[in-house]
Structure 1
Amino acid sequence: MSGSTHTVTAPAGERRPGCPFDPPAELIEAREHGPISRYAHPGGPPGWLVTGYDLVRSVLADPRFSSRKELLNVVDFTLPPAPPGEFLLMDEPQHGRYRGPLVGKFTARRMRLLTERIERITVERLDAMEAAGPTADLVTAFAKPIPTIVICELLGVPYEDRDSFQEQIDTFMSGETGDEELMAAYTATQEYLARLVAAKRAAPTDDVLSELAAGDLSDEELRGIALILLAAGFDTTANMLALGAFALLRNPEQLAALRADPGLIDKAVEELLRYLSVAKSFMRTALVDVEVGGRTIEAGTTVVLSYNTANRDPERFADPHALDLAREDGGHLAFGHGIHLCLGAQLARIEMRVALGALIARFPALRLAVPAEEVPLRPEAADIHGVKSLPVTWEA
């Protein structure tokens, strides 16, 4: 296989200005050489990069690959284990101890019950945006506030704390923060969550965190779970909303089709999730020697799973680099696969369906206020891909 000789050196290059939807060229080239390539971790031992859809999916479902943080072999020192509660970087049984109590709280049925509230929040944000218009930064006026309000209400974060909490999450998710500022934001967030957990134990309210506090989880475990849910529930969806709007504005034929047939919104959401893949990659470490795509991944070797190239795999998707809102070949990996499949997948889908549908209905003449090449992108160092701002305008 040709992928055995091709090597990608981390970090992969930046995306092209004005066309931020495609993965970096180095990753696309790697997929063209085959679904698995060698990967040179900076300052660490060599690993592997998996770019093919079938192989990424198979590794995600394979218990011989670990998610544990302390096993990641990507630097020249041993990483510490994930803090209690931060189950994304854990295997069973620890993973199940934290995820299990959450499964019943993020069911499709419960998320559907939130739809009316999400609709009201969206209308409020669009009303404010229209009143302040006819120009806006779609990130600050629309994409960030909606998921912030939703996830904070779901977990019981008081209204007056939401802005400061959003700023703290922005700081340590942006990919541009220095170590000192990053640690200060993380510490402030942990201190806030400690106070929030104590408040829920003392006076429970109608929210997920209060329900969790009634169980046998420790305060430290609850803080870790809350951090994962708040950060993931805010940052990923906020970037999907902004980048999704950008993608629609850059594909006017697709936007026109959605305007003509609002019933297309469910397919549109799935296609945007595939096309954009804002959660770009995850890593797994082989616990034993494992054969993947005809190559032996030795025990202790870390594998980078490229979601964005897997979701652009020409062997899985027809014309994969095109945005096609009527696409029939679904089954993307934007939410992962296996035991770590995103808990908030249904919530994210509802927020995207409601918010993007309402945006294009309210502003039929919405357009970029700057050339696409001038829209600033988040750096590739950020875990979640997106734009820093998205200036738009419309007819008053």
Structure 2
Amino acid sequence: MTTEPLTFPLANAGPFDPPSELMAMREGRPIAPLRLPDGRLGWVVVRRATVRSVLADPRFSARQELRGNLSPSGGSLPPAPPGMFIGMDPPDHTHYRHLLTGQFTVRRMRQLTARIEQLAEEHLDRMAAAGPPVDLVATYARPIPAMVICELLGVPDEFRERFGQQVAELSRQDATPEEQQRTLVGILTYLGELVREKRSTPTDDLLGGLVVDGAGLTDEELTNLAFMLLGAGLDTTANMLGLGTLALLAHPEQIPVITNPDTVDNAVEELLRYLAIVPGTLRTALEDVEVEGVTVRAGETVMVSLPVANRDPERFADPDTLDLTRQTSGHVAFGHGVHQCLGQQLARVEMRVAFPALFRRFPTLRLAVPQEEVPLRDEMLIFGVHRLPVTWED
């Protein structure tokens, strides 16, 4: 077992692989001490079974004020504000999640699917008109999920580009506390104004639905719910599209699998398993709990490494290989338990549409620079690529 604590953040081992220090833990005892940026000493676990166990165990809390702080600024975190249920436990978490689940209707998802298809074609048309080379992140991977989540919330067109930039700023690991606070205040101020507008003029979108059907939610609760959905639905999916395209270009023989309507669903699941977008999530022990033969004391924080759990050889054969033909199921890219990502089906729809559309339109798509020159988001909490220069044959 590791005796010297690992220190967060840990750099990914490459564009597609989780940190080597965590990958090495698969060979021995899969729990190690971890020093968080706020100075607290906690633990990190990597086995898929253990990750699922911790995330499903009510003895581990998601409450924001109990867990360590991943921000380089450190310091204790306050309790989650009203509506920010990702940092709450049941029953508060259950209350807010139930309200949101009621807004993710079959009708709305069906409408969004058609809209995503339209958005993909519009952006591909613009790429074709501009001609190669282009930055795929700026022209395709980022604008599509940005427009989808903004339309879902009812954010007007003129604010969408600025919103995408602000949300991306929040995930910077090198941002100062002052920079993060300014960005946060700017986003929340606008969302608060949007909530008040929807109270006076109801609209047929998710935020408008919460205003009407939200069982007396306050403006603060609605603003925080909108903020959480905006952040979760934009940066993660945008980076899956960017990094996923890089992975497919590195494995061109597998592109026909993702463009085939019969195999695209499974191919997306394999990309979700294989790519290390989110480093993990945190839980804090409410009492002493034994994990992998170690006693995690009450008050200690455990980071569950989702990317390494998705490379667990006990669950996935040859786990470090991307194989879009494997029958991928049981990954934890969206977490596990009561906090499993609420918007996972929306993210899946976006990827099922965007990847095939891209490679069908540009079958000769390739990198415009050597792969080692593609700038990675090593300094960001959400991993991916800053830019993806691509070209194709006209």
Give the shorter-chain TM-score range.
Answer: over 0.9
User: What residue number does 2:193 align with?
Assistant: 195
Partners of 2:266 and 2:328 within 8 A in 1: no
The residue identity in structure 2 corresponding to 1:359 is L
- Which whole-Å deviations, capped at 9, do the CAs of 1:286-306 have from their partners, x for residues lacking one? 001111222211111100110
User: What residue number does 2:31 align with?
Assistant: 36
User: What residue number does 2:242 align with?
Assistant: 242
The residue identity in structure 1 corresponding to 2:21 is E
User: What residue number does 1:175 align with?
Assistant: 173
Q: Aligned residues, how many? A: 389
- Which whole-Å deviations, capped at 9, do the CAs of 1:159-181 have from their partners, x for residues lacking one? 11111111211221233433332
User: What residue number does 1:254 align with?
Assistant: 254
Hey, what's the Cα distance between the residues in 2 that align with 1:282 and 1:43?
Answer: 16
User: What residue number does 1:334 align with?
Assistant: 333
Per-residue deviation at 1:224? 0.6
- For residue 61 of structure 1, the aligned residue among 53, 56, 77 is 56
Secondary structure in structure 2 of the residue aligned to 1:71: coil
User: What residue number does 1:23 align with?
Assistant: 18
Secondary structure in structure 1 of the residue aligned to 2:262: helix
Partners of 2:146 and 2:164 within 8 A in 1: yes
User: What residue number does 1:11 align with?
Assistant: 8
Hey, what's the Cα distance between the residues in 2 that align with 1:6 and 1:317?
Answer: 28
- Which whole-Å deviations, capped at 9, do the CAs of 1:147-204 have from their partners, x for residues lacking one? 1111111111011111111121122123343333222111111110111010010101
Partners of 1:289 and 1:299 within 8 A in 2: yes
The residue identity in structure 1 corresponding to 2:52 is R
Hey, what's the Cα distance between the residues in 1 that align with 2:242 and 2:194?
Answer: 29
Partners of 1:175 and 1:378 within 8 A in 2: no
User: What residue number does 1:165 align with?
Assistant: 163
Hey, what's the Cα distance between the residues in 1 that align with 2:36 and 2:193?
Answer: 38
The residue identity in structure 2 corresponding to 1:200 is K
Hey, what's the Cα distance between the residues in 2 that align with 1:185 and 1:77?
Answer: 19
Instruction: Map 1:287-298; keep pairs closer than 5 Å.
Output: 287-298=286-297
Is the alpha carbon distance of 1:6 and 1:360 closer, same or farther for their aligned partners in structure 2, counting shifts above 3 Å?
farther
Hey, what's the Cα distance between the residues in 2 that align with 1:273 and 1:10?
Answer: 25
Hey, what's the Cα distance between the residues in 2 that align with 1:62 and 1:93?
Answer: 15
Q: Which moved more, 1:286-295 or 1:317-326?
A: 286-295
Per-residue deviation at 1:58? 0.6
Q: Which moved more, 1:287-296 or 1:306-315?
A: 287-296
Partners of 1:12 and 1:26 within 8 A in 2: no
User: What residue number does 1:230 align with?
Assistant: 230
The residue identity in structure 2 corresponding to 1:282 is T
Secondary structure in structure 2 of the residue aligned to 1:328: coil
Secondary structure in structure 1 of the residue aligned to 2:376: coil
Partners of 1:8 and 1:30 within 8 A in 2: no
Is the alpha carbon distance of 1:326 and 1:51 closer, same or farther for their aligned partners in structure 2, counting shifts above 3 Å?
same
TM-score by length of 1: 0.94
Per-residue deviation at 1:269? 0.4
User: What residue number does 1:213 align with?
Assistant: 211
Hey, what's the Cα distance between the residues in 2 that align with 1:285 and 1:296?
Answer: 13
Q: Which moved more, 1:188-197 or 1:92-101?
A: 92-101
- Which whole-Å deviations, capped at 9, do the CAs of 1:191-230 have from their partners, x for residues lacking one? 1011101001010110111111123111111111000001
Q: Which moved more, 1:120-129 or 1:182-191?
A: 182-191
Instruction: Map 1:69-218; keep pairs closer than 5 Å.
Output: 69-73=64-68, 77-107=75-105, 110-214=108-212, 215=214, 216-218=216-218
Per-residue deviation at 1:382? 2.3
User: What residue number does 2:303 align with?
Assistant: 304
User: What residue number does 1:275 align with?
Assistant: 274
Partners of 1:65 and 1:285 within 8 A in 2: yes
TM-score by length of 2: 0.94
Hey, what's the Cα distance between the residues in 1 that align with 2:380 and 2:316?
Answer: 26
Hey, what's the Cα distance between the residues in 2 that align with 1:388 and 1:178?
Answer: 20
Q: Which moved more, 1:312-321 or 1:7-16?
A: 7-16
Hey, what's the Cα distance between the residues in 2 that align with 1:74 and 1:168?
Answer: 21
- Which whole-Å deviations, capped at 9, do the CAs of 1:125-160 have from their partners, x for residues lacking one? 111111111211010100011011111111110111
Per-residue deviation at 1:31? 2.7
User: What residue number does 1:356 align with?
Assistant: 355
Identity %: 55
Secondary structure in structure 1 of the residue aligned to 2:263: helix
Partners of 1:148 and 1:234 within 8 A in 2: yes
* Backbone CA RMSD of aligned residues: 1.7
Is the alpha carbon distance of 1:24 and 1:316 closer, same or farther for their aligned partners in structure 2, counting shifts above 3 Å?
same
Where structure 2 has 5 or more consecutive residues not aligned to the other structure, the ranges are none
Hey, what's the Cα distance between the residues in 1 that align with 2:306 and 2:219?
Answer: 33
- Which whole-Å deviations, capped at 9, do the CAs of 1:93-122 have from their partners, x for residues lacking one? 211221110112225664234211110011
Hey, what's the Cα distance between the residues in 2 that align with 1:176 and 1:132?
Answer: 34
The residue identity in structure 2 corresponding to 1:224 is N
Hey, what's the Cα distance between the residues in 1 that align with 2:371 and 2:173?
Answer: 22
